[in-house]
Amino acid sequence: MADNSRIEWTQATWNPVTGCSKVSPGCAHCYAETFAERWRGLKGHPYEQGFDLRIWPERLEQPLRWKRPRVIFVNSMSDLFHEDIPLAYIEQVFEVMGQAKQHIFQVLTKRHERLAELAPSLPWPENVWMGVSIENKRWVERANYLRQVPAAVRFISAEPLLGELVGLDLTGIDWLIAGGESGPGHRPVKEDWIVQLQRQCEAAKVSFFFKQWGGIRSKAGGRELHGREWSEMPTPKARELLLAR
């Protein structure tokens, strides 16, 4: 578990699972895979297995030991709805999140079909936010699956944004994060794509968070749009916690 995350829209990360596999174009330059594979084969390192999927039951209770409220990104190094993670283990993760009521948990997936399939079997306490990643128009359908989930807050991560999100319906969505890709070989984002999303969010009364323009380094292009930073959050508690970071 890592406190003081550098991710602008969260405060901490919790990884009861690590490792993943690619499912769509947004995965091509996965930062988590790049980081994990550096350590493959190093005996005793948490990423000795590289980015191969690994379940960590010993990490399940970590959030319960953090008494100060935090906004926590769940599985920043994996996808909780990966097809190789048993439902019983996902249920355990949700049970812990329900117990740790002082925190806000942000769960993000690209496995929209499995999310919708399992959602009726899971508890959805108010402190658990559920999101899907949408990187181009091919995947705007993920929002339709997200709408089936009875989460208190539903959000979309349009990062890395690889194209205009034609046909995106924000009905039932509370929050949208947008951002360009970073790292070697990054695919550039167009300003028009970001502007369209900001205007669409404004019209639909959806909180808008612009994370970055991207570049070789994630902070290289800054995060201003129209001369200001956009850091809207969908709940007052979340805004308060992030301002206090």
**Per-residue pLDDT tens for 172-222?**
999 999 999 998 889 999 999 999 999 999 999 999 999 999 998 888 889
- Does residue 105 surpass a pLDDT of 90? yes
pLDDT at 4: 83
**Portion of the chain with pLDDT greater than 70, in percent:** 100
Domain count, the chain: 1
Asked if residue 147 is part of any domain, the answer here is yes
* CATH code of residue 197: 3.20.20
Give per-residue burial for 220-233: e unless 16+ CB within 10 Å, then b. ebebebeeeebbbb
Asked if residue 210 is part of any domain, the answer here is yes
pLDDT at 64: 97
The whole-number average pLDDT for the span 102-114 is 98
pLDDT at 89: 98
Q: With contact defined as beta carbons under 8 Å apart, do 192 and 164 qualify?
A: yes
Asked if residue 131 is part of any domain, the answer here is yes
Q: With contact defined as beta carbons under 8 Å apart, do 71 and 8 qualify?
A: no
pLDDT at 220: 82
Q: With contact defined as beta carbons under 8 Å apart, do 115 and 109 qualify?
A: yes
- Does residue 136 surpass a pLDDT of 80? yes
The whole-number average pLDDT for the span 111-123 is 98
pLDDT at 245: 74
Asked if residue 187 is part of any domain, the answer here is yes
Give per-residue burial for 8-35: e unless 16+ CB within 10 Å, then b. bbbbbbbbbbbbbeebeebbebbebbee
Asked if residue 7 is part of any domain, the answer here is no
Asked if residue 164 is part of any domain, the answer here is yes
Sign of the alpha-carbon dihedral angle for 191, 193, 196, 201: negative
Domain that holds residue 153: 12-243
Asked if residue 3 is part of any domain, the answer here is no
Tokens representing residue 154 in the block: 């539903």
- Of residues 57 and 185, the one with the higher pLDDT is 57
pLDDT at 243: 87
Q: What is the dihedral of CA 51, 53, 57, 63, to 10 degrees?
A: 60
Provide the whole-model pTM. 0.96
Q: What is the mean pLDDT of the chain?
A: 96
Asked if residue 66 is part of any domain, the answer here is yes
Question: What would the pLDDT profile of 9-56 be if each residue is shown by its tens digit?
Answer: 999 999 999 999 999 999 999 999 999 999 999 999 999 999 999 999
